[in-house]
Amino acid sequence: MTDADRVRLYRTVRLIRRFEERAVELVHGGQIVGGIHPYLGQEGVAAGVCAALGADDVLAGTHRGHGHVLARGADPARMLAELCGRVTGLNAGRGGSMHAADLSIGVLGANAIVGASGAIITGAVWARRRQGHDTVGVSFFGDGAVNEGMLLEAFNLAALWRVPVLFVCENNGYATTMPVAGAVAGSIAGRAAAFDIPAVEVDGQDPETVRAAAAAAVDRMRAGGGPELIEARTYRFDAHHTFEHAVRLDYRPPDEVTRGRARDPVDIQGSRLADADRAAVNAEVEATVDAAVRFALDSPEPDPADALAYLYASGLTVRTGGG
């Protein structure tokens, strides 16, 4: 890990943090409709994993997916425009928070169906490798997804066909409001062990620890290894979804929240930088996020006449719904 890597990692977690904080403000201000699942507190996972990837690699994320898209290098301005439903958004305003995608950089999309990304990424990586690329893939999912049969089927398929997919479980302790202890029999790493998939548990609050674990896994996969799993122990600082800002749900003990928030990935990574370097990154991120907010809010809304544009890649046209 060079000093430049260290700064880059800080820049990524800081960018996600400030992006999310501003996005929450835009939710409260009514500019982002439908709310978001804030990635606040989990920044170290996306940043650490994506720092270990190369240009040819692919990933797919979750409903709590802003961090994955940003860490992979998507344009924050177009990302925020997407959240605001603008035509300049990554998905031309058709996807929103839960479906943000940028296929040009291998982001096959945030995906709102829990446990869905594993099989999709397995297929994409297998296909890329058949076409001669040295691609590895990352499937991000939460602790709730380890009880989805579809994901366990994907573990089996990836292991059976030795498709190099890094399964990254972001264990933030809760599936919406359900604590892990109430939902997971056995263990998350044990799920992987059942398929002979190597698994490690890491401190997801430390971006450098995550990066090291991901880089080691990616190295082994590129050398011909099959899939691996990282369980990143993390904590979500904010709500499951911003609707909780209006409707208080009582499921996390206050002292647990306080303890969880005390281990802040942005602070942990920031403390490794000289004060001047950290301040420079902070200023740069602030300018980037300010510009993103301006870009998003200044961008035009899509034309309702084109509401079903892109429905069919083949260009098939459909009947309208009116009488």
Partner 1 sequence: MPRLSYRRALTRALADELAHDEAVFLLGEDIQVGASLVTTGLAKRFGTERVRDTPLSEQAFTSFATGAALAGLRPVIEFQIPSLLFLVFEQIVNHAHKFPLMTGGQCRVPVTYLVPGSGSRTGWAGQHSDHPYSLFAHVGVVTVVPATPADAYGLLVTAIRHDDPVVVFAPAPAMDVRDDVDDLAPVPLGRGRIHRNGCDVTVVAIGHLVHDALAVAEEMADQVSVEVFDPRTLYPFDIDGLVESVTRTGRLVVFDDGNRSCGMAAEIIASVVERVRLLAPPRRVTRPDGAVLPFAPALDRAVQPGRDHLVTAIHLTVKDSS
* 236, amino acid identity: R
The token pair that represents 214 in the structure block: 């991901």
Query: Could you say whether residue 116 binds partner 1 (CB under 8 A)?
Result: yes
Phi, psi (5° rounding) for residue 39? -90, 5
CA of residue 188 relative to chain centroid, distance: 19
Q: Is residue 125 involved in binding partner 1 (CB under 8 A)?
A: yes
Residues 149-178 that bind partner 1 (CB under 8 A): 149-150, 153-154, 156-157, 160
Smaller CB distance to partner 1: residue 132 or 182? 132
The residue written with tokens 């993103």 in the block is 292
Residue with Cβ nearer partner 1 (4 or 318): 318
Least distance in angstroms from the C-beta of 89 to partner 1 = 7
How many Å separate Cα 186 from the centre of its chain? 25
What are the residue ranges of helices labelled H in the chain? 3-28, 43-50, 66-71, 76-83, 117-130, 149-160, 180-183, 188-193, 207-222, 254-262, 265-270, 275-298
Please select the residue that binds partner 1; options are 7, 50, 124, 184, rule is CB under 8 A: 124
Question: Which residues inside 24-83 make contact with partner 1, applying CB under 8 A?
Answer: 58
Nearer to partner 1, 91 or 234 (CB): 91
Q: Give 45 or 120: the residue with its C-beta nearer to partner 1.
A: 120
Three-state secondary-structure class, residue 202: strand
Which residues contact partner 1 by CB under 8 A? 58, 89-95, 99, 101-104, 108-109, 111, 113, 116, 118-128, 130-131, 149-150, 153-154, 156-157, 160, 308-314, 316, 318
